[in-house]
Each structure stands twice: as C-alpha cells, then as structure tokens.
Amino acid sequence: MSSFSSRFKSLAFRIQVYYGLLLATVIITFATVLYFQQSRLRMHAIDDELVASHQLLTSKMETNPSVDDWKVPLSFNVPPPRQPRDVPYSSVWHKDGTTIYRSSLYAPSSADDSTSQRKTEQSPGPTLHRRGITVRNRGSFREVIGAGPRESTVLVGRNIERDYRDIRSLLLVLIGTGLSVFTVGLFGGWILARQAIEPINKITQAATEISGNNLSRRIDLKETESELGRLAQTLNGTFDRIAIAFKQQAEFTADASHELRTPLSIIQTHQELALSKLRTADEYRETIETCSRATERIATLINKLLSLARLDADSSSPLRISTDISGLVVKCRGLSEPMANAKRLSIVSELREAWAMVDPSQIEQVITNLLSNAIHYTEPGGSITLAVESISHGIQLSISDSGVGISESDLPRIFDRFYRVDHARSRDSGGSGLGLAISRSIVEAHGGKIEVESTLGRGSRFTVTLPLAEKRVTEVPGYT
C-alpha cells in the first residue's frame, strides 16, 4: 500500500502526469482549431461557389430570358461532384410564388421552398446574409437565395452531405491521430522520464549501500557531463572524503584503544598475580606501585584525548588575550630547568618582546611540549636554543636542539596522532604520541602554523608562527 502511494508521489509519476496533461491540452487545442478552421473554410468555399452560381444564373437570366439556358456550369463545383446529387441545383420563382424555373439535375420538393424560407428565419442556425443574398441550411442542403431580374427570386443549392462527411471524417482522423500521438507521446515521455530518473535511482541505491562498514561503493554513472553526472561526481568526492575521515577515525580509535589497553593489561596482570596467592608486603607494594604507574598513564592519555577532542570540536578557542610570547617562554623554561639540569643541558634564550592574541594556557602547553621533547631527545651535555622574535606578519617562536634529530621518513608524520618515532624511547618518558598532534591543533586553532626541520644526528628545530596581535589590550597577570 505504501509502495503504491509512494509510487504516485514519485517524481517520475508526477512528471508523467503533468506531461500527459500538457500533451492532451496541446493535442485537443490543435485538433479543435484545425477542425473548426477546416469546416469553416469548407463552408465558405461552398457558399462562394453557390453565390457565384447564383450571380451567373442571375446574369444569364438578365441576358437570356430563355429558361433552357439557365443551367449552372459544372466547372463551378469545387471539388468536382462525384455523384449527381452533389451537382448544384437551381430554382427560380416569381414574387407571387409561381415557379418559373427548376433545374433538372436535382430538386428538393418545391413545396419546401417558400415554407422553408420562413422556417429558416424562425431558426437562424447557420444562415448567412451577404450582398442581399441569404444563405441557409435546409437539412443536408446548402442554399443561396437572392433576388433575380424581373421580380424573381433565384435559389441555388447543393447537397452538402458529402462535405459534412468529409468534415466528420476529418474529425475522426483528428481524434484518431490525436489519441495515437497522445499514446506515443505518453510512452515516449515515460521512457524519457525514466531515463532522466534512472541516474537518480542509481545515486539513491549507491548512497543506500554506502555504510560505515562498506565505504568503497561509488556511484557508477557513464554520463559525466550532465547535471546528474556532476552531482554523482560531487557525491563520489564526498564519499571519498567521508571514507578517508572514517579510516582516520578508525585508525585513531584503534590507536587510542591500543594505548589504553596496554596499561590496562599491566593493571590486570599484576592484580591477578597479586591475588593468585598470598604475597609478601613488598610484593603487594610493588604491585600497587606498578598499578598506579599504569593508572597515571591512562589518566594522562585520557586528558590528552579529551583536549584533542575539545580542539576538534571547537577549532577556534574563544579565549584570546594579548600575550607576550617571550614571557610564556621564560615561564616554561623555568619549569623545565630541573629536567634540563639533570641532563646537563644548556638552554640559550634569544627573546624579544612579541605580542600575539592567544589563549596563554594553550600556547604554554605547546611550548612546554616542544621544550620537553627537545630535552628528552637531546643527549646529555647538548644545548637547546629558545628564540622569540617579531616577523613581518606575526611572531615566530623557535626551539632548536642539538639532539638525535628525526629521520626524513619520520619527518612528515611526526604531527600525526599516535605517531611515534621510537616506541621504547618515548614510553620511558610517558609519551603518548599525542603531544605534537595537540600542539599542531592548538597552533592551527590560533591561525598559526608549526613547522619542523631536522637532520638526523644533528638536531631538530621546531618553528611556531602566530599572527600578530593588533594592539595591546590587557596584560594578564601571571602570564607576562
């Protein structure tokens, strides 16, 4: 039932109905106009012929009073008569009602003549008056009546049954042709509508088949130039992007679950071990220590995932405070000093006051992250350089180290989520593989960019460019 009603609501059906109505209107209008025009022309032709015959007869009567010569010539008949009854007849009678002449070819009963004249006047019908001549229909006869010479009345008439038949057959032909043209038109329209709708159905079907599990399906349309072809291409492009997004999301989820499962298995393993039999106090302590390390790892990871999710959800953090970036660097340097001192690293600062509209806590996170990476990947005794300067279109912050560097194959991927150059190394420091991804998200949310150049064995240099603040608005205590 629903498919039935939906069928009536379908675009193809509606196009078909409108098209059918339009077609019918055109055909009916055309046929009607043609029919009436044709019948009018035919009647005119007959009338012209009869009037001409009347004039001819009248002039003959004037010049030639002999009744024997009052005959309408056959050549006036258009079309030429096929049967004797199609030949015009004529009748002349005097004012007093006496018949002077009646043609031999065909004559309707004379009694009708005068009475029917009155009858026609009573019912006007298709009676025409022109040039003192009355034209009338009498049954299937068309007659022209006019004054003749010597106070006579001249009637010329003709059987027009054949003309009526012709016009009726024209009507039948028009109806027949109209119906067949309508049918062919409807059928053609149906095929055209289907052809036009077919790609839409294809698109619908393909779009239906595309799901989270099956993103490989694409719309297969041959016609690439048509509007629908372009729509299909556009949709395919969208599907491609969705598929990529889905894949990235799946990879991210897999990576995130991997990162969560590892500390979880540590906790589970050690708990099971501790519970499997009675242990010493030291063993219990060790188990708890191990578990709390793993718990901390999970907490850190979840925090990072949350901040990434927040950055993803709201790419433009609403908080923008005019901040001196070099001030933030000084603060971060202070916090990292103990770590650097432990590795005997020298930190060199080349700082100039540089103001930018930023969320200070987020930028601080970026600096802390880059700085701790630099400390972590630099061998003891190495050096780290922090530089902040104003450039033409913004401010530039760079953190260079003399550390292990990043190989060319790793370089393009280090900002990817969960990408780790060396698993073992980063794990020691509790690295999650998210730090640089978060840093990039933050910098990009600020309309800036983060870049890296590195030589393996020589060191790396991370450069953060931030757009310049228009003017100093406020100085936030604690951040400057």
Partner 1 sequence: MRVLLVEDEPDLRRGIAQFLRESGYAVDEASDGHDGLEKSLSWDYDAIVLDWMLPRLSGIDLLQKLRFKKTTPVLFLTARDGVVDRVTGLDTGADDYLVKPFQLAELGARLRALVRRASGIAVAKISVLDLVVDTASRTVTRQDQPVVLTGREFSLLELLVFNRGKLVTRTMIYDHLFEEDHDSLSNLVDVYISRLRSKLGSEFLTTRRGEGYIVDV
Minimum CB distance to partner 1 smaller for 48 or for 272: 272
Q: Which two tokens stand for residue 270?
A: 């050690």
State the nearest-atom distance from the C-beta of 425 to partner 1, in Å: 8
**In whole angstroms, how close is the CB of 403 to partner 1 at the nearest point?**
18
Alpha-carbon span 232 to 230, nearest angstrom: 5
Pairwise CA distance, residues 72 & 53, whole Å: 6
Angle, alpha carbons 349-435-265 (nearest 5°): 140
Between 234 and 248, name the residue whose CB sits nearer to partner 1: 248
Given the rule CB under 8 A, which residues bind partner 1? 254, 257-259, 261-262, 264-270, 272-273, 276-277, 290, 293-294, 422-425, 427
Integer angstrom CA distances of residue 335 from 82, 338, 341, 402, 448: 122, 7, 11, 20, 25
What DSSP assignment string belongs to 122-134? Answer: HS-SS-EEETTEE
Among residues 61 and 291, whose Cβ is nearest to partner 1?
Answer: 291
DSSP output for 284-343: HHHHHHHHHHHHHHHHHHHHHHHHHHHHHH-SS-S--EEEEHHHHHHHHHHHHHHHHHHT
DSSP conformation class of 468: B
Q: Which two tokens stand for residue 82?
A: 């096929």
Burial 139-148 (b: 16+ CB within 10 A, else e): eebbbbbbeb
Min dist. Cβ of residue 412 to partner 1 (A)? 20
Give the nearer residue to partner 1 in terms of CB position, either 292 or 341. Answer: 292
Q: Based on CB atoms, which residue is closest to partner 1, 271 or 390?
A: 271
Minimum distance from CB of 290 to partner 1 (Å)? 5
Nearer to partner 1, 66 or 276 (CB): 276
Query: Whose Cβ is closer to partner 1: residue 44's or residue 425's?
Result: 425
Name the minimum Å distance from CB 286 to partner 1.
9
Tokens of 343: 């590795």
Nearer to partner 1, 1 or 424 (CB): 424
CB of 241 to partner 1, least distance (A): 22
CB 423 within 8 Å of CB 434: no
Nearest distance from residue 269's CB to partner 1, in Å? 4
The tokens of 41 are what?
């022309």
Output the smallest distance, CB 272 to partner 1, in A.
Answer: 5
